[in-house]
Amino acid sequence: MMKAKYILAAGLMALGLSTQAQTLDRTKLPVDAPAPAIKIGKPVSFTLANGLKVFVVQNNKLPRVAFSLLFDYLPIREGEKAGYVSIASQLIKTGTKTRTKDQIDEAVDFIGGSLNTTPTGVYAMSLKKHTPKMLEVMSDVVLNPKFTQEELDKLKKQTKSGLASQKDNPAAIATRVSSILVYGKDHPYGEPDSEETVDRITLDDCRKFYETYYRPNIGYLAVVGDITPEEARPMVEKYFGKWQPGEVPKPTYEMPKPPAKTTIVMVDKPSSVQSMVYITHPVQLKPYTTESIQASLTNDILGGSGGNARLFNNLREKHGYTYGAYSTLTSDRLVGRFRANASVRNAVTDSAVGEFINELKSIRSSKPSAEELKSTKNTFAGNFIFTLEDPETIADFAINTARYHLPEDFFSNYLKNVDAVTVDQVEASANKLIDPEHAYIVVVGKASEVADKLKRFGDIVYYDLNGNKVEAPAPGKLTTSAVPAGLSADQVINKYLTAIGGKDAIAKITDVTQKMTTEVQGTKVDIESKQKGMTKFKLSVMAMGQVVQKVTSDGVKVKEEGGGGQSRASVDDEAKIEILKNAIFPELLFATMGAKTALVGTEKINGKDAYKVDVTLGKKTISEFYDVETGLKVQYTAIEQGPQGEMAVNTGLSNYKEVNGVKFPNTLTQNLGPMTMKMETQSLVVNTGLDDKEFTVQ
Amino acid sequence: MKRTVLYVALSQCLLWSAVAQTPRKTAPTRPAAKPAAAVSKAPVSTPAEQPAARIKFTEYDLPNGLHVILHQDNTTPLVAVTMMYHVGSKNEQPGRSGFAHFFEHLMFEGSDNIKRGEYMKIVKGAGGQLNANTSNDRTFYYELLPSNKLELGLYMESERLLHARVDEKGVETQREVVKEERRQRYENQPYGSFFPQVLSHAFKVHPYKWAPIGSMEDLNAAKIDEFRDFYKEFYIPGNAILSIAGDINPEDAKKLIDKYFGEIPKGTKTPYRPNVKEPVQKAEVRDIVYDNVSLPGVFQAYHMPAQGDPDYYALDVLQTLLAAGESSRMNKELVDKQQKAVQTGVFPLSTEDPGLFIAIGIANMGVKAEDLEAGMNAEIEKVKKNLVSDAEFQKVKNQIETNFVNQNAGVAGIAESLANYKMYLGDANLINTELARYNKVTKEDLRRVANKYLTKENRVVLYYLPKAMEPKKEDKGK
């Protein structure tokens, strides 16, 4: 239809006839009006005696004034106190020498203003008529903060709640794990915060952060809005003139390296209906350079936002795999990053990864068309114009010119430089900065549905959300999900003790003798376990009439003897762990032994939800699993020294039967590498009066 | 690596967009833009007091019924071309929930003159940005362009209205895309389902009972002929407002508008407007949603009047009192002092028919939903019992005034506000005068509306609890 009409119109014109002058020819796009002139204003700038650089942008469109303070320092490595910088910057707003937190909040809200403190800056905004009051509060917070334990504790608690909630959020997990992989745990951009690191943060850490980094000599203050430079200057002098400069450290960091070859990193989240896919690696890309301008266009062609880039057109418009697929190339003073990402449904996860890789390869192997580059430049230029609507952009330009020592005309020439980028430069930029052969493909999703099909893209390694390698989830055992809030390890343990008969009944059990049998590779194995009190035990394993293994505890020392005569004795923490693993009711020993317990979440054990409680003694951890519904212990997991190094051994507990009012598991299963051993109880008797001599350890 | 967690991104939950909204980068944290759904909540300062903030505009109707609003602001060479269609999820038929939003996705598929896949390409290639979103009441499309491309924006929107491409291929692709959008934002996101859940519990007969995203079942059932009928019924000039703001010359703009929209015929159908009155709720509705969350969430929704009602304004002021700013009552008490919550929020829905006043709390670690809810209720009870002090009332008014000024910071927001006021309240000039309606609200009104609407019988309470706390699978049914 459309073509016919077009050809007819062209035919008529060729005959020298005109189509009706008034009829709109909708087959052609309208012609643009002449391009508008783009004016980039210049702020008025001055520097205070203490080194604070001030930039004033007057814009009377709205009757408001914003003060935006930026601290220019290199990122801080927080180490075992990861999270303290963020907490410290929030703490700054929670009290001054003359104002409580309530008074600060009240003062800001009363004038309808806003005030934020972050690790790298402070932002305050209000209507013009309230500017003096706003500045007074802002400067009080910046110059005279008072750090109190009470407010720190609040922030720590909120931060930990935040961390807990991240565990449910696939996007948060993907971002977290990607950063750990791309930058490494020893890099400021990669070090993960956790409940433990947050716990270690002290008031002193926060104070030191403030004293070191909230300094005028590394500060840039943008004053933007309905204010003249003549009005601004005395105000800034008055409120920030007394602020003292200080020495600010300039740390250096190692450049993170991309992986030797592309690796699939699977983070199992069994409840997922979509996979969060991040393809990412570090890049060397400094901001505000010719290279970074080329990189922007390269990325916009590949995966820029807004709906016309290759990834979007392929994964969404062509295949319908996703609501959106995008990429970013981040420039940074220390280290930049490439990332392509999308949320895709489980069934097409591998196909989506395949299309991602096709696009990443294709932008390297061939130049974009001139038309594609032109269109991308136009989008870029449009966005540049749109940012100019916000007068703060003018201040940002001036501040970045100073921070990065750019030529004075860098931003006025910006669009000219964008326009000068060639298709060859885009190709070169793609080859330098986008590398599908040396990337992490992070997939957060339901491993049991998506992992197998991802193997064709590389080796699969499993990670937890703290960036630690973990074992591939075996069928029936999937990784941890959601820690139920409001529930503690103690509550889970108490529920278990109640479920097996209650503390009173347990207290009446003085000793237990249990005989079990199993079969290992066709050989019958007998196991006899004798336990007395809380901590004494003797475990004998017999096969073909011989003792093949014996473990004895006298309550303090533990001795392990093998069939070949070798033996090993352990004391202290190591002995305690052995005792915990073998004791009848280790739950009653946690406190006296100084073991720390933590409820880390729920896992599916044999298809049913179980609470996972980690029991840590020194450097050793064992995990206990308690059925959510029945409260009974269904498994414990310990790391054992095996022939091929360390391995996790799961001991499953089931078939509980009551003896003297207490339930004991009568079936034990244990995985030894690929093997599973099932131990069935033949007899279990209690309170036979076992002699202490049985449990001597030399 | 360390960042602040946003537990429930409210703006994310209310509107459903053609393309995911990309978060804007910010240096130090600047005030966030208000959710578009709450756009009419910020009141206006009186023109006499703030002449600089006055928004001038002209408006008129084309003979085919299209309403046009123009606002000129030549400060920056950009223009926002927007079309608001008076159709949202409430105009959908039962069994076809999600239809209006699905259709919005189709409107990017092209037209008789724009090939499939070209629509976004043309606008982006011209240096523009474009997107659309669908609420319960309306569908909103926009292009933000360098101002010399005004004509292109008009062409694109007129193609959409005149002869959009509605074909099998587009329907099938977008069906998958919309389903992915639903998975991404509703199913795979903690608390992501709260808005659809709140609606389905609060409304029994009114079509507000389903959210704009619709159900998977209904999305699967939508057929091509239904889309064609939908287009004929709702995408007609008389059912739309063309609102333009930015670097324009109104006289030239009018000529161009005539050129592109003048030839579009009037529709032949009358758009379906549900005339359904939700019966008064007589008893509290409570339910528990077991979700992939670790912190319990409490979502309360009280039935409230439609936007524009005098009590709507009082409830909006009450919202500011309860939840705007660090010193607001809920934040101060529940987050700061009692530390029961990590996040609290209150937002009255600005809906065309009577809607909901929604209060949200996300519990701090170790706090039970019951305790948090008790804390939230205590704040509501205080408002019911005691009048606010003069100082606190003044604070709230000052906050409202600042909000108004901030609302008009960009031409895109101005274009949308003008269209909103016209479509829902029949008067675009409320962008300048609505403050008077807020100023009428008295301290006594706050207490009165709290007692009238914020009652136990009038509310829905949903707990979001960790899946691990779910008692037994069998009890839940399907």
Query: Contact A375/B19, CB-based, under 8 Å?
Result: no
Kindly give the pairing relationship between strand B459-466 and strand B285-291. Answer: parallel
CA A153, CA A159: separation in Å to the nearest integer? 10
Identify each DSSP E strand in A144-254 by its residue range: 219-225
Tell me if residue A354 falls in helix, strand or coil: helix
CA A136, CA B149: separation in Å to the nearest integer? 45
Q: Which of B131, B146, B327 faces A109 most closely, judged by CB atoms?
A: B327
Give B120 to chain A, closest Cα distance, Å.
Answer: 6
- CATH number (3.90.1150.10, 3.30.830.10, 1.10.3720.10, 3.30.420.40) of B285-470 reads 3.30.830.10
Tokens found for residue A385: 């114009």
The answer regarding whether domain A44-166+192-240 maps to CATH 3.30.830.10 reads yes
- Is pLDDT of B409 > 80? yes
Quick one: chain A helix, strand, coil %, rounded to 5? 35, 30, 35
Burial class (CB in 10 A: 0-12, 13-18, 19+), B226: middle
Give the per-residue pLDDT at A602: 80
- Say how many CB pairs under 8 Å bridge A and B: 329
The answer regarding whether domain A489-695 maps to CATH 3.30.420.250 reads no
Query: Contact B408/A62, CB-based, under 8 Å?
Result: yes
Q: Which residues of A touch B3 (CB under 8 A)?
A: 86
Please state which CATH number belongs to domain B39-261: 3.30.830.10
Neighbour tally for A194: CB within 10 Å: 15
Length of chain A: 698
Q: Which of B28, B125, B149 faces A121 most closely, judged by CB atoms?
A: B28
Q: Are A167 and A482 in contact (CB under 8 A)?
A: yes
Q: Which of B108, B113, B398 faces A112 most closely, judged by CB atoms?
A: B398
* Domain extent listing, chain B: 39-261, 285-470
CA A63, CA A460: separation in Å to the nearest integer? 57
List, by residue range, all CATH 2.50.20.10 domains of chain A. 489-695
Averaged pLDDT score across all residues of chain B:
87
List all residues 6 or more positions away from A23 whose beta carbon is below 8 Å from its beta carbon: none
- B322 - beta bridge partners? none
Nearest CA in chain A to B395: A110
Nearest to B290 by CA among B190, B186, B150, B200: B190
B474 touches chain A (CB under 8 A): no
Which alpha helices (DSSP H) does A339-456 contain, by range? 349-365, 370-387, 392-403, 414-419, 423-433, 447-450
The residue that leads in pLDDT, A61 or B40, is: A61
Chain centroid to Cα B463, Å, comes to: 23
Query: Contact A486/B296, CB-based, under 8 Å?
Result: yes
Query: Contact A481/B468, CB-based, under 8 Å?
Result: yes
Average pLDDT estimate for B454-469: 93
List all residues 6 or more positions away from B95 whose beta carbon is below 8 Å from its beta carbon: B218, B221
Q: Which of A1, A127, A193 faces B2 most closely, judged by CB atoms?
A: A193
Please give the model's pTM, rounded to 2 decimal places.
Answer: 0.75
Give the mutation candidate from A6, A131, A165, A383 for the B interface (greatest B CB count, under 10 A).
A165
Q: Angle at CA A218, nearest 5°, toward A217 and A219?
A: 95
Q: Are A294 and A421 in contact (CB under 8 A)?
A: yes
Neighbour tally for B16: CB within 10 Å: 28
Neighbour tally for A435: CB within 10 Å: 18
Q: Which DSSP symbol is given to B330?
A: H
Q: Which DSSP symbol is given to B25?
A: P
Q: How confident is the model at residue B417 (pLDDT cuts 50, 70, 90)?
A: very high
- Radius of gyration over every alpha carbon of chain B, rounded to an integer in angstroms: 22
Q: How confident is the model at residue B2 (pLDDT cuts 50, 70, 90)?
A: very low
Q: Are A282 and A258 in contact (CB under 8 A)?
A: yes
Give the per-residue pLDDT at B475: 44
Buried b (16+ CB within 10 A) or exposed e, B429-452: bbbbebbebbbebebebbbebbeb
Return the residue matching tokens 């009082």.
B314
Average pLDDT estimate for B307-335: 96
Give the per-residue pLDDT at A609: 83
List, by residue range, all CATH 3.30.830.10 domains of chain A. 44-166+192-240, 263-470
Tokens found for residue B456: 């136990």
The residue that leads in pLDDT, A549 or B108, is: B108
Give B7 to chain A, closest Cα distance, Å.
Answer: 8
Tokens found for residue B279: 């019966």
Q: What is the DSSP string of B426-473?
A: S-TTHHHHHHHHHHT--HHHHHHHHHHHS-STTEEEEEEEEGGG---H
Give the mutation candidate from B365, B401, B411 for the A interface (greatest A CB count, under 10 A).
B365
B159 touches chain A (CB under 8 A): yes
Give the mutation candidate from A168, A206, A332, A387 for the B interface (greatest B CB count, under 10 A).
A168
CA A7, CA A5: separation in Å to the nearest integer? 6
Residue-wise pLDDT for B9-23, tens only, equals 444 456 666 665 443
CA B77, CA B423: separation in Å to the nearest integer? 28
CA A170, CA A344: separation in Å to the nearest integer? 12
B49 touches chain A (CB under 8 A): no
Q: Which DSSP symbol is given to B65?
A: S
Using DSSP, how many helices (H) and how many strands (E) does chain B show? 17, 12
Q: Which residues of B touch A64 (CB under 8 A)?
A: 402, 405-406
Nearest CA in chain A to B50: A63
Half-sphere exposure (Cβ direction) of A246: Cα atoms closer than 13 Å: 15
Query: Contact B399/A112, CB-based, under 8 Å?
Result: yes
Give the mutation candidate from A25, A26, A100 for the B interface (greatest B CB count, under 10 A).
A26
Return the residue matching tokens 């890049």.
A283
Which alpha helices (DSSP H) does B206-248 contain, by range? 216-221, 224-234
Would you tell me which residues 213-272 of chain B have a C-beta closer than 8 angstroms to some C-beta of chain A?
Answer: 247, 259-260, 263
Sign of torsion over alpha carbons A239, A241, A247, A248: positive
Q: Which residues of B touch A102 (CB under 8 A)?
A: 327, 332
Nearest CA in chain A to B189: A169
Write down the ipTM of this complex: 0.85
Give the per-residue pLDDT at A41: 84
CA end-to-end span of chain B? 39
Alpha-carbon distance values, B101 to A542, B117, B221, B230, B418 (Å):
70, 19, 14, 12, 22
Q: Which residues of A touch B12 (CB under 8 A)?
A: none
Q: Which DSSP symbol is given to A28?
A: S
- Is pLDDT of B36 > 50? no
Kindly give the pairing relationship between strand A263-268 and strand A460-463. Answer: parallel
Query: Contact B175/A320, CB-based, under 8 Å?
Result: yes
| CATH architecture assignment, domain A263-470 | 2-Layer Sandwich (3.30)
Tell me if residue A52 falls in helix, strand or coil: coil
Length of chain B: 478
Query: Contact B188/A120, CB-based, under 8 Å?
Result: no
Residue-wise pLDDT for B338-392, tens only, equals 999 999 999 899 899 999 999 999 999 889 999 999 999 999 999 999 999 999 9
Residues of chain A with confidence (pLDDT) below 50: 1-21, 476-478, 643-644
Tokens found for residue A338: 């490439």
Query: Contact A273/B20, CB-based, under 8 Å?
Result: no
